[in-house]
Amino acid sequence: KSDDKSCAISPKAIVSDACASYSTLEDLNHDVKPALDNLTRTTDFFSHYRLNLFNKRCPFWNDENGMCGNIACAVETLDNEEDIPEVWRASELGKLEGPRAKHPGKSVQRQEPKRPLQGKLGENVGESCVVEYDDECDDRDYCVPDDESATSKGDYVSLLRNPERFTGYAGDGAKQVWDAVYRENCFQKSSFPQSASLGETYSVPKGPAAMDFRAVMQAAGRQQVLEQQREQNPLVPFVAKTGLEFEDECLEKRVFYKVVSGMHASISTHLCWDFLNQTTGQWQPNLSCYINRLHKFPDRISNLYFNYALLTRAVAKLGPYLSSHEEYTFCTGDPAQDADTRAKVLAVTSKAANSVPGPVFDESLMFKNGEGPSLKEDFRNRFRNVSRLMDCVGCDKCRLWGKLQTAGYGTALKVLFEFADNDAVSTTKTDEIPFKLKRTELVALFNTYARLSSSLDAIQKFRAMVEESEYQIEETENKEGGGMHHIPDRAKKPRHVIVSTPVAVDNDIKTTAVVVDEATKAGVTPAPEVKQRQQQQQQQEQQQQKEEEIVEENDKDNDFDEFRSEPEPDRDPNFVYKKRTLKEEFVQEFKLVFSVFKMVIKSYLRLPGLVYEIFTTELQRFWQFYIGLPVMPRTWEFRRPSLDEL
Ligand SMILES: Cc1cc2nc3c(=O)[nH]c(=O)nc-3n(C[C@H](O)[C@H](O)[C@H](O)COP(=O)(O)OP(=O)(O)OC[C@H]3O[C@@H](n4cnc5c(N)ncnc54)[C@H](O)[C@@H]3O)c2cc1C
């Protein structure tokens, strides 16, 4: 906690529950990122990952029910995907790319220690750096080991060939997974080991408080009802609330929520940063995606920074173990690559440990109270459920990164809570570490750290883009409003609201055009609603302009002006009433009749043009109605001639 003496970084910590301020973490990232990128991009060990991506069923709901693995619910982001080229469709974007190699059996490993994969990942890949030899499972794992209960040991895939970015996976399928992940965050004061919510059988709780027990039983009842309802309607949520979601705000529960939310925020950051405009096929950052998913939710960004602090601490803690155990071998068949990988790992761990004057996260504050062990058990079980939930993700690439990152956080939690502290490097416990951390765990940990590192980087760049676009909007408005002296009202409104939301756009017509222009200039794709709004406004403006022109023309044509120019008793203060002569009366009447005649003739002459104009605008309106666009208002109406005009 920020006010705790054990947090040496910043007394004014703003990343809650971590011990570091945003800028401290950004500075730290500046230092660590190059080494981390170097490690994850240039070593065979850290750029390949083994996981069981295809042989596992979603354990929480029926895949065939349409909630995961079903393309119909998994992917659509555009109304009609058939309108876009196949390569840009979500179904294609979500597929794994690059070579895949099956885990070799023990005999192949023995016969071909240097090439156990027989070149299947590419000739240049040091296979002894990629294959996982140790399949042992540890009961201290926070994540489900990928080989658990699977017939296949999984596939090796290249992380470089499958970057985490926009895939178009969205809709009910994705939402159900996130919902279920967040529902795992219902700790009870007297925790009991099973998930209270995911349809598992409940074991007898160990001495639960009566209220907690009742709440959970009620949730179980609701769960049954939900299951019945879901048979009729597959969109009914899968998980009932326990009723305890807003209670028990202990540090552990907050940490659990933050980890999950920070992971979600990091995924959102990457998909917004590496975003595919599915109509132009361009990969580019999408500012409105960032604003809508992250900028407007500072707590999500804070959770992402929190995760960065947590992983920094785990990686820093791992450093002494890895460096003091020379026998930890990254590449069994290639000593040069092994030394190179070790050097790159240690560059990261030492930077994570040395860049700041003290720990950025203090895990010793957790699981301290009387319920420590059971709470820890609960924490671990819930994290395992999150890990299992990743098998319900209906897009291969998303599942790859979802699984890798839950495994990465699981490893970080294992290192933080299960391993002895740095001080204890010389104690017997340390001997266990290299053997207890599997290759997949190390790869997952460092790659998750790298994901967070690039998220921090992208968020800083997005923040600069937001500031830039706000500045440009202000400039444009100042110019429109006649320079610095006149500040228009809209410039005084909170601008982050103006930039992207169609709701705010409703309040301020011109802003949309400015925003769309600014966004386009910045190479950013405005949201479709914003574009539609802009077209609507342009039509309205054109309409208004037309009406003004018609009024002006009518005014010009008005043959009664000569009469209006005559002084009238109630308008001209200098008017002196004078009786007209007969001749004057005649001339006056003649002029009037002549004017009426002129007006009638002119209107006959104008009639064909008028009919044509009415016909074309009506045709245009009908077309807009037919294709579903907003229909512009009528430009004409039937009116009785006003006798006053005469
Ligand atoms: C494990 C997993 C991995 C994925 N990987 C990818 C990927 O690589 N590429 C890709 O394009 N898509 C990926 N997706 C899909 C992506 O995360 C979104 O689900 C999708 O883009 C739809 O977004 P959305 O705006 O509907 O809201 P979602 O991101 O689906 O969020 C659902 C709800 O959760 C809440 N929420 C959102 N963010 C947070 C947060 N940080 N903290 C707390 N609550 C939050 C909001 O209430 C929101 O309405 C993945 C989904 C999952 C489940």
Q: What is the mean pLDDT of residues 547-567?
A: 48
Q: What is the mean pLDDT of residues 559-583?
A: 50
Claim to verify: residue 182 and residue 211 sit in the same structural domain: no
Domain stops at, among 397, 430, 459: 459
Reported confidence tier of residue 436, pLDDT bands at 50, 70, 90: low
Claim to verify: residue 340 and residue 222 sit in the same structural domain: no
- The rounded Å distance from CA 269 to ligand 1 centre is 10
Q: Answer positive or negative: Cα dihedral of 413, 328, 425, 429.
A: positive
Q: What is the pTM of this model?
A: 0.64
3-state secondary structure (DSSP) of residue 346: helix
Domain-embedded: residue 550 = no
The runs of H, that is alpha helices, within 88-204 are: 90-93, 106-111, 172-183
Reported confidence tier of residue 261, pLDDT bands at 50, 70, 90: very high
Claim to verify: residue 101 and residue 163 sit in the same structural domain: yes
Claim to verify: residue 441 and residue 472 sit in the same structural domain: no
Closest to 182 in 3D by CA, of 202, 197, 199, 164: 197
- The rounded Å distance from CA 261 to ligand 1 centre is 10
Claim to verify: residue 507 and residue 602 sit in the same structural domain: no
Domain-embedded: residue 535 = no
Q: Are 221 and 260 in contact (CB under 8 A)?
A: no
Reported confidence tier of residue 527, pLDDT bands at 50, 70, 90: very low
Residue carrying structure tokens 């998913």: 293
Locate 244 and state its tokens: 């305890």
pLDDT > 90: percent of the chain: 20
Q: How far apart are CA 517 and CA 541, in angstroms?
A: 17
- The rounded Å distance from CA 175 to ligand 1 centre is 7
ipTM given for this complex: 0.99
3-state secondary structure (DSSP) of residue 574: coil
Domain-embedded: residue 552 = no
Q: Considering only residues 497 and 239, tell me which one the structure prediction assigns the higher pLDDT.
A: 239
Which residues have a Cβ under 8 Å from the Cβ of 497 and sit 6 or more positions away? 504
Give 134-142's long-range contacts (Cβ < 8 A, gap of 24+): 134/435, 134/438, 134/439, 136/438, 138/414, 138/436, 140/414, 140/418, 140/436, 141/384, 141/410, 141/414, 142/380, 142/383, 142/384, 142/387, 142/409, 142/410, 142/411, 142/413, 142/414
Q: Considering only residues 251 and 285, tell me which one the structure prediction assigns the higher pLDDT.
A: 285
Tell me the C-alpha to C-alpha distance, in Å, between residue 309 and each of 76, 306, 485, 506.
Answer: 35, 5, 46, 40
Claim to verify: residue 362 and residue 418 sit in the same structural domain: yes
Reported confidence tier of residue 534, pLDDT bands at 50, 70, 90: low
Q: Kindly list the protein residues whose Cβ atom lies closer than 6 A to any atom of ligand 1.
A: 164, 166-167, 169-170, 174-175, 177-178, 261, 264-265, 267-268, 271, 293, 300, 390, 393, 397-398, 401-402
* Per-residue model confidence (pLDDT) at position 22: 79
Claim to verify: residue 219 and residue 367 sit in the same structural domain: no
Domain-embedded: residue 534 = no
Window from 4-18, 348-362, 474-488 with minimum mean pLDDT: 4-18
Reported confidence tier of residue 537, pLDDT bands at 50, 70, 90: low
Window from 3-12, 173-182, 553-562 with minimum mean pLDDT: 3-12
Please identify every residue annotated as catalytic: 395, 398
Q: What is the mean pLDDT of residues 37-51?
A: 94
Domain stops at, among 459, 490, 511: 459
Ligand 1 pocket test: which of 169, 254, 292, 387 has the largest number of ligand atoms within 8 Å of its C-beta? 169
Q: Considering only residues 135 and 463, tell me which one the structure prediction assigns the higher pLDDT.
A: 463
106: DSSP letter: H
Domain-embedded: residue 300 = yes
Window from 129-138, 351-360, 379-388, 560-569 with minimum mean pLDDT: 560-569
* Per-residue model confidence (pLDDT) at position 19: 57
Question: Distance between the two ends of the chain, CA-based, in angstroms?
Answer: 84
Domain-embedded: residue 10 = no
129 has pLDDT over 80: yes
For ligand 1, atom 30, name the residue with the nearest CA. 175
Claim to verify: residue 369 and residue 504 sit in the same structural domain: no
Claim to verify: residue 270 and residue 327 sit in the same structural domain: yes
The runs of H, that is alpha helices, within 325-423 are: 335-354, 372-389, 396-418
* Per-residue model confidence (pLDDT) at position 308: 92
Reported confidence tier of residue 232, pLDDT bands at 50, 70, 90: low
Which residues have a Cβ under 8 Å from the Cβ of 10 and sit 6 or more positions away? 2, 19, 20, 21, 24
251 has pLDDT over 80: no
* Per-residue model confidence (pLDDT) at position 150: 42
- Phi/psi at 220 (nearest 5 deg)? -65, -40
Which residues have a Cβ under 8 Å from the Cβ of 494 and sit 6 or more positions away? none
577 has pLDDT over 90: no
* Per-residue model confidence (pLDDT) at position 231: 57
* No. of helices (H) and no. of strands (E), the chain: 22, 5
Q: What is the mean pLDDT of the chain?
A: 70
The string of DSSP letters for 36-57 reads HHHHHHH-HHHHEEEE--SS--
Domain-embedded: residue 16 = no
Q: Answer positive or negative: Cα dihedral of 506, 508, 510, 514.
A: negative
Which residues have a Cβ under 8 Å from the Cβ of 187 and sit 6 or more positions away? 244, 248, 250, 252, 253, 256, 375, 378, 379, 382
- How many domains, the chain? 4
> Could you tell me which residues are annotated as the binding site for FAD?
165, 167, 178, 261, 264, 293
Q: What is the mean pLDDT of residues 121-135?
A: 78
Reported confidence tier of residue 452, pLDDT bands at 50, 70, 90: very high
Claim to verify: residue 454 and residue 515 sit in the same structural domain: no
Domain-embedded: residue 12 = no
For ligand 1, atom 18, name the residue with the nearest CA. 170
Looking at residue 578, its amino acid is K
Q: Considering only residues 435 and 537, tell me which one the structure prediction assigns the higher pLDDT.
A: 537
Expressed as residue numbers, the domain containing 428 is 22-187+248-459
* Per-residue model confidence (pLDDT) at position 263: 96
* Per-residue model confidence (pLDDT) at position 449: 97
101: DSSP letter: E
* Per-residue model confidence (pLDDT) at position 89: 80
Domain stops at, among 529, 547, 581: 529
Q: What is the mean pLDDT of residues 44-69?
A: 73
Ligand 1 pocket test: which of 177, 267, 405 has the largest number of ligand atoms within 8 Å of its C-beta? 267
* Per-residue model confidence (pLDDT) at position 606: 86
Locate 260 and state its tokens: 């999950």
Claim to verify: residue 148 and residue 257 sit in the same structural domain: yes
Q: What is the mean pLDDT of residues 163-189?
A: 82
196 has pLDDT over 80: no
259 has pLDDT over 70: yes
Claim to verify: residue 57 and residue 164 sit in the same structural domain: yes
Reported confidence tier of residue 643, pLDDT bands at 50, 70, 90: low
